[in-house]
Amino acid sequence: MNSNNEHKFFGKVPEPTLRRLPWYLSNLKLLRKKGEQYVSSTQLSKETNIDASQIAKDLSFVRVTGRTRVGYEVDTLITVLEDFLGFTRIHKAFLFGVGSLGGALLRDMGLEHFGLQIVAAFDVNPCLVGTTLCGIPIYHTDEFEQKMREYDVNIGVLTVPIEIAQAVTDKMVAGGIKAVWNFTPFRIRVPESIVVQNTSLYAHLALMFNRLNFNDIK
Amino acid sequence: MNSNNEHKFFGKVPEPTLRRLPWYLSNLKLLRKKGEQYVSSTQLSKETNIDASQIAKDLSFVRVTGRTRVGYEVDTLITVLEDFLGFTRIHKAFLFGVGSLGGALLRDMGLEHFGLQIVAAFDVNPCLVGTTLCGIPIYHTDEFEQKMREYDVNIGVLTVPIEIAQAVTDKMVAGGIKAVWNFTPFRIRVPESIVVQNTSLYAHLALMFNRLNFNDIK
């Protein structure tokens, strides 16, 4: 199921480190565009506003150490990070719920460049079932178990209404889905072995609105 | 700029609380659909898998206290939470960068139901400038300062390529934008008074891939 490249990284990387690694990656890509071959953690620190010692610690998780005076090789570090973050390998996914958000995710949002390919979608709306959106087939939710046997998929993208978020999650897990990317503002419950990534745009909006108002009244 | 309703909430609410409030809200909406009039924190705790005492503490930030034996009034709590989270008032926003992700955000993604209305977009692509997407005008980035005077906007949605993420952010801030919703995987730097909400889909993908692989090799 996994490439050897991904198997060579052992142990659980702390979530804050995982959140910072994409920041380093985007800065490294900029440096490469500028023609830089090497970068020191001090330089990366200036670019990202993160402590140099923290950067060195984070990068040690991907088994990369800088060389004295020279620093990190930009090309190597980009390759290792992209590999480590899973962006170089295509992970196939099913999408559940072709509403406004689900439909937007089915259209090209650039997710494939970062390793996620939605190969099929599920809905119960008779106007949608049997059609395709940007080449991606939309099946009836009842066909999910059968399609699990046809496709090599272990990720489910959840964009259904909150009323059925838990029921659809239960169905996904029973059918063999190992990770749920939950875009609903609903807190789904899953068995411990299942990975849940919550990306509620609404929760992020609420955070932003709240801080914006707080700044206004200071 | 702000409604009185938003001004009545003082002090900074902890981020973990702000992240949990939308979960309570979605569960309360489900309970209302089922015809429930009251809910106890114990019941909400069962639904959301969050400690009842934590829930009571979180809800005290929105100045709502449950009544002994009866609990919280469902309707009231929904109204107060939607108001508190900023979903009942329309916040106007500009979008910067009409690429695949920016384009998806301009199409209906249901953000208006949660208080965000993108009123105009900016890009430098001559094929896009001067056109509209789903009724939203796309202007040249150079017109931004002028449009700031025409529209009542204080939120900027950032969906540009990483190479220009910082430059566009600087421009936004100089023009008077107070909050940046950053969808790029780039860590932008802003003055302290500016609110930044990072929503990097790629960072979330990386987190999910990593935990998925970790579960596989356990």
Q: CATH number of the domain at B91-203, please?
A: 3.40.50.720
Residue among B45, B178, B86 nearest A204 (CA) = B86
pLDDT tens digit string along A46-98? 988 899 999 999 998 888 877 878 889 999 999 999 999 989 899 999 999 99
Give pLDDT, residue B144: 97
Query: pLDDT 10s digit of each residue in chain B, 218 long?
Result: 334 344 344 467 888 898 899 999 999 999 999 999 999 989 999 988 899 999 999 998 888 877 878 889 999 999 999 999 989 899 999 999 999 889 989 987 788 888 999 999 999 999 999 999 999 999 999 999 999 999 989 999 999 999 999 999 999 999 999 999 999 989 999 999 999 999 989 899 999 998 887 666 54
Task: Outline which parts of chain B fall under CATH 3.40.50.720.
Answer: 91-203
> Tokens representing B96?
């910067």
Q: Is the minimum CB–CB distance between B10 and chain A shorter than 8 Å? A: yes
Chosen from B8, B15, B188, B212 to mutate, greatest number of chain A CBs within 10 A: B212
Number of H-type helices and E-type strands within chain A: 9, 9
pLDDT tens digit string along A120-147? 999 999 999 999 999 999 999 999 999 9
Backbone angles phi, psi at A40, to 5 degrees: -90, 160
Interchain CB distance below 8 Å, A48 and B215: no
Q: What is the pTM of this model?
A: 0.85
Report the largest interatomic distance among the alpha carbons of chain B, rounded to a whole angstrom: 64
pLDDT tens digit string along B70-114? 889 999 999 999 999 989 899 999 999 999 889 989 987 788 888
Mean pLDDT of all residues in A177-206: 94
Q: CATH number of the domain at A6-85, please?
A: 1.10.10.10
Give pLDDT, residue A153: 96
The residue whose two tokens read 């190479």 is: B163
Q: Is the minimum CB–CB distance between A210 and chain B shorter than 8 Å? A: yes
> B134 Cβ partners below 8 Å, 6+ apart?
B106, B107, B108
Q: Which of residues 158-177 of B touch A (CB under 8 A)?
A: 162-163
Any long-range contacts for A102-106 (C-beta under 8 Å, 24+ apart)? A102/A157, A102/A159, A102/A160, A103/A133, A103/B107, A104/B104, A104/B105, A104/B107, A104/B109, A105/A157, A105/A159, A105/A183, A105/B104, A106/A133, A106/A134, A106/A136
Give pLDDT, residue B9: 47
Give pLDDT, residue B152: 86
Backbone angles phi, psi at B75, to 5 degrees: -60, -50
Interchain CB distance below 8 Å, A201 and B85: no
Interchain CB distance below 8 Å, A23 and B178: no
> Is A6 a residue whose pLDDT tops 60?
no
Q: Which of residues 186-205 of B touch A (CB under 8 A)?
A: 186-187, 189, 193, 195, 197, 199-205
Give pLDDT, residue A144: 97
Give pLDDT, residue B168: 97
Q: What is the ipTM of this complex?
A: 0.85
Task: Outline which parts of chain A fall under CATH 1.10.10.10.
Answer: 6-85
Pairing of strands B136-140, B132-133: antiparallel
Interchain CB distance below 8 Å, A206 and B86: yes
Give pLDDT, residue A68: 79
